Amino acid sequence: MERDFEQVGSLIAKLVGEIDKKNTIIFNTISDLLGKVQFQDVVRQRLEKFCEVCSEISEYSRRRLRWVDNPDKEEKPEEIKVLVEKMKQDYIMADQRRVHAEVFNEETKIKEEAPKIELFKNW
């Protein structure tokens, strides 16, 4: 009976080891997929924001052209600097501010010591 318990115990230990290996594979696969989904979501958000900005610029251009064609009847749109500043205030990510600063030759004052965010933690 003791020998049978040892064999069963050995089988259970092997089974637990195999389950742990498979669990690790599943965990890594799911973590990888979630990371890819997160990346795609960030790209989608950036593209949506870019489309919004393009629409705002397009609308601004239309208003400006209407005013140029008929300054007596159309209200003069705000200066382009106002529109650019509004867009700048809507930036969420540090790299957006960095790109803006590079395009307009501004000094970047972005904190590099900001904490890194870990989306998925290996338990």
Q: What is the mean pLDDT of the chain?
A: 84
pLDDT (mean) for 31-56: 91
Q: What is the pTM of this model?
A: 0.58
pLDDT digits (tens, 9 = 90+) for 3-14: 888 999 999 999
- Is pLDDT larger for residue 120 or for residue 102? 102
Query: What pLDDT sits at residue 117?
Result: 53
3-state secondary structure of 77: coil
Who wins on pLDDT, 98 or 65? 65
Token pair for residue 72? 């007596």
- pLDDT level of residue 29 (50, 70, 90 thresholds): very high
Structure token pair of residue 14: 């092997």
